[in-house]
Every structure is written in C-alpha cells, then in structure tokens.
Chain A
Amino acid sequence: MRLHIAGVALAIGLTFSAGSQAGGISGSNIGNTCAGCHGVNGASAGTTMPVIGGLSKSYIETTMKKYRDGTRGATVMGRIAKGYNDAQIAAMSEFFAKQQWVSSSEKADANLAKLGSAIHAKRCDVCHEKDGSVVVEGDAPPRLAGQWTGYLQMYLNDVNNPGWASNHPKKQIFATTTKEDIDALLQFYASKK
C-alpha cells in the first residue's frame, strides 16, 4: 500500500509540473549535462575524471557544495559548481547515487597492487572500508575500488603538495606517504572492481 501512495505522489508531481512554466526539477535533466566529462550515468571513460555514478548522495552533494564555496580546490569544478543552486545539486546527487557503479577499465599491476593492499589495510581501510568498495549514506568516505588512477593520483599527489585538490579530512595520514606508496595504492584500487 505504501508503494501505491508513493506512485500516486509521483504521478501527481508530474501532472502538476506540467501546468507550471518552468516544469519540475528532474535529476536526469540536471545530471545528464555532467556526462560529457563524467560519462553516461556517471560511468567515466577518462582517467582524470572520476566515476561518480553510484557514489552516495550525501558525498556528491557535500562535495559539490565544497567546490562551490571553495573549501575544496579544483581546476574546473569550482567554476562549474557555482552555476548550480541547492535544489539542482540535490537533484543531480540523487540521480548519480541511483546509478550503478561502473569500475574503470584499467588493468592493474599485480605486484604493486599487493604492496598497495598492505598500505590500504594499514592506513586507509579504517575509513574506506572493505578495500574501499563500500558506499553508504551519511558522511562516509567515497568508494575507491575501481576508481580511475588518473583522478586518484591527481588528488593524492596534491595532498602532500597542496595546490588545488587537497582537502582530505585526515591529511596527517599522508605526512609519511611516499610517491611509491601512492603508486602502489592506485594499483590496488585499480585491481579491485
């Protein structure tokens, strides 16, 4: 019965927006414009553009707002996020959260991935649980398993060399992380699909 009520509300929402000039806000209309860079339904095909389809709604929403107010640095995302209001950000976040996560097509270096596995277990798994493959609502950190290495590298290189991407909430973890550690971590995440 509950399901039926939800269905009715949806149908009325559609009919009602039909009468208004601007129509309603649909997640697909807002979210689809991101696909030129982030791939169809957020399944990116380019290494420096992260997969965003299947991340949690709260993570996407918070991240977009951080880009918008400048608390997370970026090359283009800050300029882009400033063009969207709260309702649009909520709609796109919900849209991408509903999509299936599609891991990158990269092949991992097995030896480096093994090294990376140990580093992940020691430093990262406490937050990015289960090999970084967990996506849950709330303030959970993002999924890393199957994320593109180009994006992760850009982000992690910047943690120790602050520029535009460094806003990791546990920055101190990276104080003793070497470039080799980062390379191994990237291969570990690429090995997990």
Chain B
Amino acid sequence: MSNSNRRNFLKTMGGASVAAAMGLGATRASAAVKAKVVVVGGGYGGAIAARYLKMAEPGLDVVLIEKNKQYVSCPLSNTVLAGFGKLEDLTFGYDGLSRHGITVVYDTVESIDPQARKVKISGGKTFDYDRAIVAPGVDFKWGAVKGYDEATSLTIPHAWKAGPQTTLLTNQLKSMKDGGVVVITVPDNPFRCPPGPYERAALIAHYLKQHKPRSKIIILDAKDKFSKQGLFMQGWKQHYGDMIEWVAAAKGGEIDAIDAATRTAISVVGTKHQADVLNVIPPQHAGHIAHTTGLVSPKGWCPNNPVTFESTMHKNIYVIGDASVGGAMPKSGYGANTQGKVAAAAIVASLRGVEPDESAYLNTCYSLITPDHGISIVGIYQVKEGQLIEVPGSGGVSPMDASPAYRKVEAAHADSWFRNITTEMFG
C-alpha cells in the first residue's frame, strides 16, 4: 500500500474498526505463541527453518528431529579430498539450536500422519504438530546404476553425503599409485550440488598434482553440459593441464552399470572404464520419509507452493531443501537456507492468520579449483504464475579470464561464506 493510499484508508476507517483491527492482530499473535512446529531433518534447510521460526516467534514450540548428533557439511567436503580441508572443521553439533530454545531430538522419523498431524519417531514417541517442515535431503536411487547399492558403497564410495564416505574416498586416493586412474561418474539432473562433481575433479587433481602427478581423472557424465562449465574447464586447463578428462553423455559418458570387483564403470554404449579409484555419484530422489508420507511426485521430488513451500500433496507440511522440486533453484546449501527462511516466515504468517509478506529467494555458491582459485554462481528468484523463476537480468557466474587476484578473492569468499552460513545454522 502506498503512503497516500494508506492515509486515505486511515481516513475512511472509523475508530471502532481500527480498534477491531488491532484487537484481531493481537489475538492472532498470541495464538501463534502456543503452536507446535516439528522440523524433520537438521541440515542446511531444516536447521535454519527451526532457528528462524524461533527468532520470529519465540513462544513457538519448535522440535527438530535429526538422526545424527553431529552434522557434517557437504559444502567444502571436497577440500578434504584435496588434502587441505579437515572433516572436523566441517562437523557441527546442535547445542546452538538447543540454546535458542529449540527441542532437538536425535532419532529417525518412522512415520508422519498428515491427517492427525503427528510425527512418530523410531524410539516410539509421537509429536503432535500444527505445522511440520520436512527437510530430509536426498536419498540415493540404489540400483539405478546396475551393480551399485548401499553395500557396494562401502568399497566404492559415493562421498555425496559427507562423513565416513569422504574419509573412505580420501584414503583410497592416498593409497593409489602414481599413474593411477580416478573415475568419477555423474548423474543426470536434478541432483544435489550441480557444480560439486566438477569441483571434486579439480580438488582431487590438486592433490594428485602434488603427490601423484602422472595420474588421470576421468569424469563420466550423464549430461552434455554442466554448471559453471566454461569456468571449470578453463581452471582445469590452467592448473592441471590434461589431467582431467570430461566425457559428455553424447560421447558415451553416461554409465549403465559398475563392476565393483574390478572397479569398472560400464557406459550405456558398452565402453569399460577400469579405475584405480572409482567414485560413483548415484542418481537421487527426495529422502525416504518424503516418499512414505506421500509428499513425492512420480518424478521423485516434492512439489510445493513456492510462495510458502507448503506441500501441494498434504496441507500443513512444508518441504524445503534438496527434497523439494525447487523450480529454477538448484539443490544447494544456500538454496535450502533460503527456502528454510521462506517456509518459516510463511508458517508464522499462517499461524497469525495473515498472508505471508513477499519473500526473496537467493542462491550463492562458490566452487574451488585450487585453494586460491574460487568461482561462483549466483541466482535470485521470484514467483511468477506459481513457478520459481530467475529474476531476468540478474545472477550468473564469475567472468571468464578473470585475474588471479579476482579468483583469490572468490576463494576467500568461499571460506567466509562457509563460516557465516554454518554460524547461522549452529552458532
């Protein structure tokens, strides 16, 4: 409402209706204080949603249910493979959330009953909710690549959820001989962290260049193009020469199966790539609980209203982060962070009985090619005709051919980004 409209509106409103409007607002605000919100999943989306719910309405009863007592960040976990990052620096506890008044429960969720509005955890306890946020991240589609299942991942790592898998891949790289071949297989879109596989190739190359310079990295891709492609290819060439070879789907890069015994990836056209270290990034879909709750479309992701992130399958359940369809937003940590805030604000508005205010949707993502060579992609989004689309003329990637000083600033920004976004979640 413009100022002049507001003045006119004020003029035409009688004193009684003004008082009524104020009274109504007060009642709604106090109703919100008593509400219960259960957040399932404590990652980049869920932890933020819990914190911002509590910031907006300190009286809310917010319960966060998370399987692990410690969270290991996927963003920056490729630096561990490179040898300059440490897993413990990427590991966080949930004490900060408890300090903010959030009840943190360490368990898996067994079921969600959208009609009765109850969340049951594996330990048997049930939590009632007025609103629920479901933020389970991704699950792997075991078997979508023939011969690759959860048991196989204990010897052929995916390292696409950080933690022991990151350590396994790091150790395999450490024990590989000089002159060895590292094969990374990459799924088709959509998947978690679109630039991640290409940053991984660069940072593995950073390690190999120092310790095993005769080695080679082959990326077998189910796609013909990828995120920040020009910048990655320029950076690979600049720092690692011909060490990294990218095989597009059109050149036979898409894989059909793996043979775990011989660490061989077999492409859809039958080409066999035998590796010394094989890293399979499997095709993905929304996390398990989203499926069993009936929040998932046949495509494997959770459709929702982008103004609020409320599920279009079940009322009062909001799906955020990698599990959500997300429109034009990538499945990224910053995307989940933004969505967590949008959902938190929308839930607070709905508990107050008002429409949510306009939201901003942002993604900022840094990738490292060396410790001193960072590149970025930025996206700003808006809702148009029910769809999340990029704001025309905004966002984009770092410039090609930028100076080393520019790349160094972006590498430093990557570190500051990580400190800020994790302090926001866990601080």
**Chain A contacts to B: CB under 8 angstroms:** 7-9, 11-26, 28-30, 32-40, 44-49, 75-76, 79-80, 82-84, 88, 92, 150, 154, 161, 163-164
Q: A21-B355, A80-B394 are in contact. Are A75 and B405 (CB under 8 A)?
A: no
B360 touches A76 (CB 8 A): no
- 8 Å CB interface, B358-384 against A: 358-362, 364, 376, 378-381
Contact code string B407-424 (vs A, CB < 8 Å = 1, else 0): 001101101111111011
- Whether A17 and B355, one on each chain, are in contact in the complex, defined by CB atoms closer than 8 angstroms, is yes
Q: Which residue of B lies closest to A22 (CB)?
A: B358
Q: Contacts A11-B25, A163-B406, A164-B406 known; A75 to B419 CB distance under 8 Å?
A: no
Q: Tell me whether A33 and B10 are in contact (CB under 8 A).
A: no
B345 interface neighbour in A29, A46, A82, A154, Cβ under 8 Å = A29
> Could you give 12 example pairs across A and B, Cβ below 8 Å?
A11-B18, A14-B25, A15-B24, A26-B357, A29-B357, A33-B359, A45-B419, A48-B409, A75-B376, A82-B395, A150-B412, A154-B412
Shortest CB–CB separation between residue A86 and chain B, in angstroms? 13
User: Contact between A46 and B415 (Cβ–Cβ < 8 Å)?
Assistant: yes
Contact check, A18 vs B355: say whether CB atoms are below 8 A apart: yes
B398 close to A (CB within 8 Å): yes
9 interchain residue pairs of minimum CB distance: A83-B380, A46-B416, A83-B394, A82-B394, A46-B419, A26-B357, A18-B354, A45-B423, A83-B391
Judge whether B341 is part of the interface by a CB distance below 8 angstroms: yes
The docked-state distance in angstroms from the alpha carbon of A7 to that of B403 is 53
Which residues from chain A contact B415 at a C-beta distance below 8 Å? Answer: 46, 48
Known: A48-B413, A79-B396, A163-B406. A9 touches B362 (CB 8 A): no
Residues of A within 8 A of B405 (CB): 161, 163
Are B358 and A26 neighbours in the complex by a CB distance under 8 Å? yes
- Cα A14 to Cα B27 with chains together (Å): 14
Task: Report the minimum CB–CB distance from A87 to chain B (whole Å).
Answer: 9
Residue of A14, A25, A32, A36 near B358 (CB, 8 A) is A25
Q: Report B's interface with A, CB cutoff 8 A.
A: 1, 6, 9-10, 13, 18, 21-22, 24-25, 52, 56, 334, 337-338, 341-342, 345, 349, 353-362, 364, 376, 378-381, 391, 393-396, 398, 403, 405-406, 409-410, 412-413, 415-421, 423-424, 427
**6 more CB-based (< 8 A) A-B contacts, given A13-B6, A23-B354, A46-B419:** A17-B1, A24-B1, A30-B360, A33-B341, A33-B362, A79-B395
Shortest C-beta distance, A179 to chain B (Å), equals 14
Q: Which residues of B contact A12 (CB under 8 A)?
A: 6, 9-10, 13, 18, 21
Complex Cα distance, B52 from A35, in Å, reads 11
Contact between A20 and B394 (Cβ–Cβ < 8 Å)? Answer: no
A36 adjacent to B18 (CB under 8 Å) = no
CA distance A7 to B18 in the complex (A): 11
A19, A49, A83, A164 — which one has the most chain B CB atoms within 10 A of its CB? A83
Closest to B359 in A: A29
CB-nearest residue of chain A relative to B349? A23
Of the candidates B24, B362, B393, B412, the one whose C-beta lies within 8 Å of that of A82 is B393
In the bound assembly, the distance between CA atoms of A11 and B357 in angstroms comes to 14
Asked if B21 and A11 make an inter-chain contact with CB atoms under 8 angstroms apart, the answer reads yes
Q: Is the interface of B mostly helix, strand, loop or mixed?
A: helix
CA distance A16 to B334 in the complex (A): 32
Contact, CB under 8 Å: B427 / A29: no
Q: Which of B18, B396, B417 is in CB contact (< 8 Å) with A46?
A: B417
Closest chain A residue to B342 by CB distance?
A: A29
Assembled-state Cα–Cα distance A32/B345 (Å):
10
Please determine whether B25 and A36 come into contact, CB atoms closer than 8 angstroms. Answer: no
Residues of chain A within 8 A (CB-CB) of B13 are 12
Least Cβ–Cβ distance between A34 and chain B, in angstroms = 8
Contact partner of B1 (CB less than 8 A), chosen from A16, A45, A46, is A16
Name, among A17, A33, A39, A80, the residue most crowded by chain B CB atoms within 10 Å (CB to CB): A33
- CA gap between A46 and B413 in the complex, in Å: 8
CA distance A161 to B22 in the complex (A): 57
| With A17-B354, A24-B357, A163-B403 as contacts: A82 and B391 at CB distance below 8 Å | yes
CB contact between A19 and one of B355, B360, B403 (< 8 Å): that residue: B355
CB atoms of B1 and A154 under 8 A apart: no
Docked Cα-Cα span, A15 to B334, in Å, equals 32
Our pick among B9, B356, B409 for the contact of A23 (Cβ within 8 Å) is B356
Expressed in whole angstroms, the Cα–Cα distance for A81 and B120 within the complex equals 43
Residues of A within 8 A of B21 (CB): 11-12, 15
Closest CB of chain B to A19's CB: distance in Å? 7
Q: A9-B6, A37-B417 are in contact. Are A25 and B393 (CB under 8 A)?
A: no
Residues of B within 8 A of A40 (CB): 423-424, 427
Minimum distance in angstroms from A15 CB to a CB of chain B: 5
- Is B393 in contact with A23, judged by CB distance below 8 angstroms? no
Q: A12-B6, A18-B355, A39-B423 are in contact. Are A80 and B364 (CB under 8 A)?
A: yes
Beyond A12-B21, A44-B416, whether A33 also contacts B354 by CB under 8 A is: no
A21 to chain B, nearest CB (A): 7
Residue of B nearest to A26 (CB): B357
Min Cβ gap B396→A in Å is: 5
In the bound complex, do residue B357 and residue A76 qualify as a contact, i.e. CB atoms below 8 Å apart? no
- Asked if A39 contacts B420 (CB within 8 A), the reply is yes
CB contact between B380 and one of A7, A18, A38, A80 (< 8 Å): that residue: A80
Q: Which of A11, A32, A46, A82 has the most CB of B within 10 A?
A: A32
Q: Please give, as numbers and ranges, the residues of chain B lying within 8 Å of A45 by CB-CB distance.
A: 416, 419-420, 423, 427
A20 to B5, CA, bound (A): 14
For the complex formed, measure the closest distance between the CB of B338 and the CB atoms of chain A, giving whole angstroms.
Answer: 5
- Residue on B nearest A38 in the bound complex, by CB: B420
Residues of B within 8 A of A16 (CB): 1, 6, 9
